[in-house]
Chain A
Amino acid sequence: MSFKNKRTSTPQAPHRAKTLPKVKTLLELKHGEGGVLDSMDLPEDVARRLMELGFLPGHLITPGHSAPGGDPQVFRVDGSEVALRRETASRLYLRSESDIS
Chain B
Amino acid sequence: MNECHGCPASAVATLVPPSAGARPNVIAIVGPPNAGKSTLFNRLTGMRQKVANFPGVTVEHHLGKLFMDNGREITLIDLPGVYSLLPRSEDEQVTHDVLKGQMAGVPAPGAILLILDCTNLGRHLVLAAPILSLGLPTLVILNMADDLRARGGEVDSAALSAQLGAPVALISAAKDEGVDKVMQFIEGISAGWSPKKALMELPVLNDIPKCRQWAARVNTNSDYHAPTPPIWTRRLDKVFLHPLLGPTVFALVVIGVFQTIFSGARPIMDWLQNMITDSGRWMGVVLPDSPLKSLLIEGVWSGVGSVIVFLPQILLLFLFIGILEDSGYLARAALIADRTMSKFGLQGKSFIPLLSAYACAVPAIMATRTIENKRDRIATILIAPFMTCSARLPVYTLIIAAFIPSRPLLGHFFGTQAAAMLGLYLIGFLAAIFTARMLKSTVLKSNRTPFMLEMPPYRWPTFQSLGLRLYDRSMAFLKRAGTVILAVAVGLWILAHLPLHNGQVPQVADSLVGTIGRTIEPIIRPLGFNWKIGVGLITSLAAREVIIGTLGTIYGIDDPTHSTGLQQALHQDLTVGSALALLIFFAFAMQCMSTMAVVRRETGSWKWPAIQFSYMGGLAYVCAFAANHIVAYFH
Among candidates B86, B238, B241, residue contacting A67 with C-beta atoms closer than 8 Å: B241
Residue of A nearest to B244 (CB): A68
CB within 8 Å of B: which of A26-62? 42, 45-46, 48-54, 56-57
* Chain B 88-119 interface mask (CB, 8 Å, partner A; 1/0): 10000000000000000000000000000001
The verdict on A50 contacting B452 (CB below 8 Å), with A56-B209, A79-B120, A80-B123 known, is: yes
CB <8 Å contact, A83 and B120: no
Q: Are A82 and B452 in contact, CB atoms less than 8 angstroms apart? A: yes
Top 3 A-B pairs ranked by shortest CB distance? Answer: A65-B241, A52-B83, A79-B120
Is A72 a contact partner of B451 (Cβ separation < 8 A)? yes
Decide: B122 and A78 in contact? CB cutoff 8 A: yes
Query: CB-CB < 8 A to B229: which residues of A?
Result: 76
Interface residues on B, range: 35 or more
Query: Binding site of A, secondary structure by majority: helix, strand, loop or mixed?
Result: mixed
Q: Are B86 and A48 in contact (CB under 8 A)?
A: yes
- Cβ contacts A to B, 16 pairs, < 8 Å: A45-B88, A46-B452, A48-B88, A50-B452, A52-B126, A57-B209, A69-B339, A72-B338, A72-B348, A76-B229, A79-B119, A79-B123, A80-B123, A82-B452, A84-B452, A85-B450
Contacting residues, chain B, for A65 (C-beta < 8 A):
237-238, 241-242
Q: Is the CB of B339 within 8 A of A56?
A: no
Are A81 and B338 neighbours in the complex by a CB distance under 8 Å? no
Chain B residues lying within 8 Å of A72, measured Cβ to Cβ, are: 335, 338-339, 348, 451, 453
Q: Which of B218-266 contact A (CB under 8 A)?
A: 226, 229, 237-238, 241-244, 246-247
The listed residue (B243, B331, B335, B450) touching A88 by CB distance below 8 A is B450
Residue B336, interface by CB 8 Å: yes
Tell me the smallest distance from the CB of B114 to a CB of chain A, in Å: 16
Q: In whole angstroms, what is the CA distance A88 to B486 when docked?
A: 52
Is residue B473 contacting chain A, with contact meaning CB distance below 8 A?
no
The CA of A56 and the CA of B336, in the complex, are separated in Å by 26
Report Cα–Cα, A48/B209, bound state, in Å.
10
Complex Cα gap A83–B454 (Å)? 6
By a beta-carbon cutoff of 8 Å, the part of chain B in contact with chain A is: 83-84, 86, 88, 119-120, 122-123, 126, 208-209, 212, 226, 229, 237-238, 241-244, 246-247, 331, 335-336, 338-339, 342, 348, 448, 450-455
Q: Considering the chains assembled together, what is the distance between the CA atoms of A1 and B119 in angstroms?
A: 29
B243: which of A45, A68, A82 is its contact (CB, 8 Å)?
A: A68
- Do the beta carbons of B247 and A68 come within 8 Å of each other? yes
**B338 with A49: CB separation less than 8 A:** no
Decide yes or no whether A94 CB sits under 8 A from chain B: no
Assess A82 versus B455: contact at CB under 8 Å? Given A42-B450, A52-B83, A68-B339: yes
Knowing A53-B83, A74-B335, the reply to whether A88 touches B451 (Cβ < 8 A) is: yes
Taking CB atoms, residues of chain A closer than 8 Å to B453 are 72, 82-83
A97 at the interface (CB under 8 A from B): no
Check: A14 CB closer than 8 A to any chain B CB.
no
B338/A53 in contact, CB under 8 A: no
B contact residues around A84 at 8 Å (CB): 450-452
Q: A48-B86, A48-B208, A80-B120 are in contact. Are A53 and B339 (CB under 8 A)?
A: no
A56 / chain B contacts, CB cutoff of 8 Å: 208-209, 212
> Known contacts A67-B335, A68-B339, A79-B123; is A53 also within 8 Å of B452 by CB?
yes
- Residues in B with CB closer than 8 Å to A68 are 243-244, 246-247, 336, 339
What residues of A have a CB within 8 angstroms of the CB of B335 in the complex? 67, 72, 74, 83
User: Closest CB of chain B to A42's CB: distance in Å?
Assistant: 7
In whole Å, how far is B93's beta carbon from the nearest beta carbon of chain A? 13
